[in-house]
Amino acid sequence: MNSYGTDAGPVVEWTVVDSDIGPLLLAATGSGLVSVSFHARPAVRDAVLERLRTRFGTEPVEAPGSPRLAEPVRALAAYFAGERHAFDLDLDWSLTSGFHRAVLRELASGVPYGTVVGYGDLAARVGRPEGAQAVGAAMGANPLPVVVPCHRVVESDGGLGGFGGGLETKRQLLALEGILPQPLF
């Protein structure tokens, strides 16, 4: 059930939390976590909030103590501490649709911690074996990175592929999960 009515309070609540990969902006609706954004310094934060404002037609409200955000904040802290390997959070999928949503849902449910999948393999899993490039576009548009683990999607030849948070961030996440070695310095 969506909380988009005036009786439900703010439509989108957000906060910025520190993480091992830098500040993350988390946003949630009454349906669940709707957005995770990397490098949430002022310029990025402002752009993310503008996208949310445009999409939901209301002003996002900064709410660091929000019950909507409490579990995502705890879950991400536990993930970065190496104590959580799966996310069972309520997710609001309204920022994605169609093929992208199908790919992201498959990624969230079918590619566990400590594993990777190729772009083409993920495309085949959702019935579009020729859709590797479209999977790449879905990864680039993922509104819920880390929680919906687009960092686990790699090239078939072993290359890292792209990553919206930057390749160093992707390396850090894959090292955290034991897929790549931890950097020496």
Is 77 an active-site residue? no
Chain centre to alpha carbon of residue 138: 12
The catalytically annotated residue of 27, 34, 107, 150 is 150
Q: Beta-strand (E) ranges in the chain?
A: 13-17, 24-29, 32-37, 61-62, 117-118, 153-154
Structure tokens at 171: 């390396």
Nearest Cα neighbor of 104 from 114, 94, 168 is: 94
Nearest Cα neighbor of 27 from 155, 178, 144 is: 144
Residues 6 or more apart whose Cβ sits within 8 Å of residue 106: 122, 125, 126
**Which residues belong to the active site?**
150
